[in-house]
Structure 1
Amino acid sequence: MTNNGRLKPILDVNEKPKLALWITLSLQHLFAMFGATVLVPILTGLPASVALATSGIGTLTYIIITRGKIPAYLGSSFAFITPIIVLSTSHNVQTAMLGAFLASLVYGFVALFIAKFGVNWLLKLLPPVVVGPIIVVIGLGLSPTAVDMAMNKTVNGVKEYSLENFLVALSTLAVTIICCVAFKGFAKQIPVLLGIVFGYIIACIAGIVDFTPVIEAAWFKVPEFIIPFVTYKPEWNVAALAMVPIAIVTINEHIGHQMVLSEVVGKNFIKDPGLHRSILADGIAMMFASLLGGPPSTTYGENIGVLAITRIFSVFVLAGAAVFALALSFIGKFSALISTIPNPVMGGVSILLFGIIASSGLRMLVDEKVDLSINRNLVISSVIIVLGVGGAMLKFESINFELPAMALAAISGVLLNAFLPKEVK
């Protein structure tokens, strides 16, 4: 035990394990992040190999910028799934990457303001009564996608109900739930990965897995990066601004992660290396992802859970996980194997995962004791949820700009919180 009552870490932040142990622990940590990291590109239509590569590059960048003081792994952000799908469908994937790049700039500006003025202004701008409902919207907004993947199949370009697919999805969901509530230790922290693995086995038994891509794939293959001025000529598109408001949610999430991580590790990361530095590192990792065609990256709650259970706080282990993620992205057969995961398997996992996201928003409201009997709080949360879940959008055809529901809900919440008068119960 340490002086403050915490269990001593098995490996502290700057401790370096021996080679064999380093490989084992690094792979263990990668497995914890793997399921959610590859789920985002599968849902958004981006290459999973690129997501793995940008996840590894982003994590290494984060560790370098934070001076090796914060043990964190950066994976694909769920908050940006809907905007990426909307922009990729209504415009193209390059517009979505431009939006991610602009969102990363927000991180840079926020980091500068925090370094200059502290963090209180941001917490006032984004109180729990705003952030909680936005998180609810993110989870519920993704729920139709999860159900569609679980329940339907495409035949000749037309979606139709499939009982076989739905049974596979429900079986996958059941396994994932069992992992969440019945397992202990490290296994409890990787329900998504275990759910995908067992769901994949069930899908193989059901005969809905096509191994042709794996057989035909080369062992070594460079990920399908989408690089400006290399694979495409970047052009300004005002629609990309629609992704910028989502950054206010992920930045707030980042602050929460840093507070919890500080408590788990027993070091004040808010002060050293500083919140401004960690937010800047997160933003630069997101910028690299946008320049390579990967989904925006973010710090993961799963990462904190694994650290708390294993008490392996070494940044060398996290860096190792990043290196292995980067290496796996260049193995063609591995990337092809990921692409063969059937939709009902991912849909079954997503039903629980997206529900947990929505529930975490409700949990924030409860934990922060947001009083919904106060009309001001009730109005803010109600408007955010209905605009976001209802699919409201602000569209200006003259300039080809469309503000999707999630972004509109986030902006509305911030404005209502800023201008509605304070109310005393």
Structure 2
Amino acid sequence: MKEQQQGIILDVGDTPKPITWLTLSFQHLFAMFGATILVPFLVDLDPAVALISSGVGTIAFLLITKGQVPAYLGSSFAFIAPLIAAKAAFGPGGAMVGSFMAGIVYGLVAILIKTSGHQWVMKMLPPIVVGPVIVVIGLSLSGTAVDMAMNNPNQEYSLLHFSAALVTLLITIIFSIYFRGFFSLIPILIGIICGYGYSLAIGIVNLQPVVEANWFSRPEFIIPFVNYTPTFSWQIALLMVPVALVTLSEHIGHQLVLSKVVGRDYIEKPGLHRSILGDGTATMIASILGGPPNTTYGENIGVLAITRVYSVFVIAGAAIFAIGFGFIGKISALISSVPSPVMGGVSILLFGIIASSGLRMMIDSQIDLGDKRNLIIASVILVIGIGGAFVKFSDEFELHGMALAAIIGILLNAILPKSVGTSSNEDEVNSNKKHSIA
């Protein structure tokens, strides 16, 4: 990877000058901002808490990886549907307990990787399993995106509100396709800003809460033993924990891409076990504060690739800014004032991209759907996941949707015999190393 070292502006351990540091950190903040606040918006959590937990989680990640991995962690889209289901069934406290358990899974996997290597993870999660599950993650949320785009606050169809969603969507697409450099990395944020401006023009924004908000305020934390009493439930575990199997694959993919960008082998040093432990710790921290689970962000990896600034101090600076923004009441109120159709317009594209990235993973991994084994695995995962199938053992023990689809996919991949002429599991593992969730 030595060739990747050419043209570095700031290496991993370099400290930038103050003004440069400030500018570069703000750039990373903008890259993650739109997606990070969109997740809590969709699952009805406080965006300010999401910002704070992403900042604290990123700093924890940097410490656990010994300051060697310049990655920013923000809100995970994979957990949106499970969080909504967990909140509906068990309240916000139950959703946070589920998130904490998902973080524990990361810790257990990190221990296993430390003792037995990392190949077994990718054998358990080949592209034929992960690809369709990623499609399920995107498409299972499509109804939510469309409802947000088309309806007014009374949940009635409104052409006026739908127009805000369409304007937001169009602008986001334009910046994604026609702009280059840094602007191509923040189309979500630009789309939200422009959609917000259009919404102001047509009169569907209420700015009164922004005017009344204090400059400094306490976010709506959801803290165990303060706001709720944590209780273990198999149903919560089955809703949330299986999603970690997919996000683990996402994490490994990001680490491999980051290794190529920076010119280091992060799987070997500081080790995949450390980065996975850091990711899981960030998710557990978020659950304790009342934010959505965290994951490494591809948007920020893109910023690293374009700027050739790999300094972990720049990443840490962005994390500190995120924490600070979370305590500024005016900013929190401004975020909350964004109309649902604007977020719906962005979500139409984002959720579609997530689903499409699952298809891309299978295509790039040369998964042959003409092979009956692959066709069966993909078909079963898609219908069970998108159709919302569930298995109910009792009132407290239920497995459904994405979680059920992921588990059945893993089991089918393990028990169905390999077909003649198909690639081995080892080939799928090597191919999967190139890809991750968008």
In 2, Cα distance between the equivalents of 1:399 and 1:236? 14
Per-residue deviation at 1:393?
Answer: 1.6
Matches within 5 A, 1:166-315: 166-241=162-237, 242-315=239-312
Q: Confirm or deny: 8 A CA contact 1:37 1:52 kept in the other structure.
A: yes
1:419 paired residue among 415, 419, 438 = 415
Per-residue deviation at 1:6?
Answer: 5.6
Please tell me the root mean square deviation across aligned C-alpha atoms, in Å: 1.1
Q: Which residue of 2 aligns with 1:364?
A: 361
Output one character per residue of 1:388-415: Cα deviation in whole Å (capped at 9) or x when no partner: 111112223x342332301011011001
Q: Which residue of 2 aligns with 1:395?
A: 392
Q: Which residue of 2 aligns with 1:88?
A: 87
Indicate the SS of the match to 1:282. helix
Q: Confirm or deny: 8 A CA contact 2:93 2:229 kept in the other structure.
A: no
In 2, Cα distance between the equivalents of 1:6 and 1:379? 44
Given the superposition, is the C-alpha separation of residues 5 and 121 from structure 1 closer, same or farther in structure 2, using an over 3 Å criterion? closer
Q: Confirm or deny: 8 A CA contact 1:95 1:239 kept in the other structure.
A: no
In 2, Cα distance between the equivalents of 1:401 and 1:345? 37
Q: Which residue of 2 aligns with 1:165?
A: 161
Given the superposition, is the C-alpha separation of residues 3 and 280 from structure 1 closer, same or farther in structure 2, using an over 3 Å criterion? closer
Per-residue deviation at 1:70?
Answer: 0.3
In 2, Cα distance between the equivalents of 1:160 and 1:176? 25
What runs of 5+ residues in structure 1 fail to find an aligned partner?
none
Query: Sequence identity of aligned pairs in percent?
Result: 61
In 2, Cα distance between the equivalents of 1:381 and 1:196? 34
Determine whether 1:407 maps to 2:406: no
Per-residue deviation at 1:3?
Answer: 5.4
Per-residue deviation at 1:373?
Answer: 1.0
Query: Matched residue pairs, number?
Result: 420
Q: Confirm or deny: 8 A CA contact 2:4 2:260 kept in the other structure.
A: no
Per-residue deviation at 1:22?
Answer: 0.6
Q: Which amino acid aligns with 1:147?
A: V
TM-score, scaled relative to structure 2: 0.94
In 2, Cα distance between the equivalents of 1:357 and 1:164? 28
Q: Confirm or deny: 8 A CA contact 2:168 2:342 kept in the other structure.
A: yes
Q: Which amino acid aligns with 2:301?
A: I
TM-score, scaled relative to structure 1: 0.97
Q: Which amino acid aligns with 2:58?
A: T
In 2, Cα distance between the equivalents of 1:198 and 1:178? 12
Output one character per residue of 1:323-357: Cα deviation in whole Å (capped at 9) or x when no partner: 00000000011100000000010000011111110
Q: Confirm or deny: 8 A CA contact 1:83 1:404 kept in the other structure.
A: no
Indicate the SS of the match to 1:91. helix
Q: Which residue of 2 aligns with 1:375?
A: 372
Deviates more, 1:322-331 or 1:399-408: 399-408
Indicate the SS of the match to 1:231. coil
Indicate the SS of the match to 2:417. coil
Determine whether 1:143 maps to 2:142: yes
Given the superposition, is the C-alpha separation of residues 5 and 90 from structure 1 closer, same or farther in structure 2, using an over 3 Å criterion? closer
